[in-house]
Amino acid sequence: MSDLEEQLIVGFGDIVDRLVATPFGTAAVLRKGKGGPAKLRYTWMRVYDDARKFYGRPLTLLAAESLIDRVSRGDYVLIVTNSHEMDGPPGAAAMARSLVVGLGAIPVIVTDYVEGTKFEKAVPQSCIGAQLIPVSDPEELRGSIWTPYTVLVHRWPEMTVAEAEEAAGRLMDDYAPKAVITVEAVSCNKAGINHGALGGPRNSGDPEEPFVRFNEIIFAAKERGVLTIATGDNGNECGFATIEGILKEHHEFCNDCGCPCGEGIISAAGADIVIPANSSNWACYGIGACLARLLERPEVLHDEYTHNRILLNCANVGIPDGATAMCTPTTDGASHKACVSLVGMLGETVRMSMVELVRESR
Nearer CB in complex with Zn ion: 66/194? 194
Taking CA atoms, 97 is separated from 60, 84, 128, 265, 331, in Å, by 16, 20, 10, 31, 19
Angstrom distance (rounded) from CA 231 to CA 234: 10
The answer to whether 16 and 289 have CB atoms below 8 angstroms apart is yes
- Min separation Cβ 193 and Zn ion, Å: 5
- Min separation Cβ 260 and Zn ion, Å: 7
| DSSP tag of 186 | B
Terminus-to-terminus CA distance in the chain, angstroms? 32
Nearer CB in complex with Zn ion: 107/200? 200
- Min separation Cβ 213 and Zn ion, Å: 16
Question: Contact between 188 and Zn ion (CB under 5 A)?
Answer: no
Question: Contact between 259 and Zn ion (CB under 5 A)?
Answer: yes
The contact pattern for Zn ion, residues 195-234, with x = CB under 5 A and - = no contact, is -----x----------------------------------
Nearest to 45 by CA among 20, 10, 28, 15: 20
Angle at which helices 215-223 and 161-175 cross, to 10°:
50
Nearest to 343 by CA among 280, 277, 286: 286
- Min separation Cβ 307 and Zn ion, Å: 36
H/E stretch holding 109 reads strand 106-112
- Min separation Cβ 157 and Zn ion, Å: 24
Question: Contact between 257 and Zn ion (CB under 5 A)?
Answer: yes
> Which of 128, 261, 301, 339 is in the footprint of Zn ion by CB under 5 A?
261
Stretch that binds Zn ion, among 27-35, 255-263, 322-330, 353-361 (CB under 5 A): 255-263
Question: Beta 179-183 vs 76-82: how paired, if at all?
Answer: parallel
- Min separation Cβ 254 and Zn ion, Å: 11
Stretch that binds Zn ion, among 81-89, 101-109, 165-173, 254-262 (CB under 5 A): 254-262
> How many residues of this chain bind Zn ion (CB under 5 A)?
5
Stretch that binds Zn ion, among 94-102, 157-165, 203-211, 256-264 (CB under 5 A): 256-264
CB crowding 206-222: b at 16 or more within 10 Å, else e: eeeeebbbbbbbbbbbb
Nearest to 17 by CA among 221, 270, 293: 293
Stretch that binds Zn ion, among 186-194, 220-228, 233-241, 293-301 (CB under 5 A): 186-194
Question: Contact between 186 and Zn ion (CB under 5 A)?
Answer: no
The contact pattern for Zn ion, residues 146-185, with x = CB under 5 A and - = no contact, is ----------------------------------------
Work out whether the CA dihedral 118, 122, 126, 127 comes out positive or negative: negative
Residues that bind Zn ion (CB under 5 A): 193, 200, 257, 259, 261
